[in-house]
Structure 1
Amino acid sequence: MEAASKRQRIAERFRLAAQLPILCSQLFTLLILQSTLQLLPVILVTFGVTMQLPALDIPCNLHTAFKCLGL
């Protein structure tokens, strides 16, 4: 009984260790996303000032959106 419990604990540790690289990569991705989102207003203002972006036409309703897409 004790040997089975010990094997189960070891298996659980290996399972957790196998998930560690995935969790680290997800954390890294979230950190990059957070820093990008924090810089987004600065980037948009910079490009908006330097390139003078035209106003975007946003469809008012679904009918207009589908019409624009040709559906």
Structure 2
Amino acid sequence: MSARPHLRVVRGNPDDEELAALTAVVAALASRPAREAGRARRSAWADRSRLVRGLPQPGPGAWRASSLP
């Protein structure tokens, strides 16, 4: 193990509870899998949201389009 500390307080005087809370947060973020950190983009071919029909736009003939599949 190295003698150099992993965390260093640059400013202020944190008490033991504050240092423990900071250490717990940093450890939790470091142990999180990389896949959860960023959501994977779905390709446009696999995106099913394009199949959902949107609302009819107001204007001439909109009442007719509201009953079409």
Please classify the TM superposition score into its range, dividing by the shorter chain length. Answer: 0.3 to 0.5
Higher Cα radius of gyration: 2
TM-score scaled by length of structure 1 = 0.35
More relative contact order, 1 or 2 (CA 8 Å, 6+ apart): 2
TM-score scaled by length of structure 2 = 0.35
Higher fraction of helix: 1
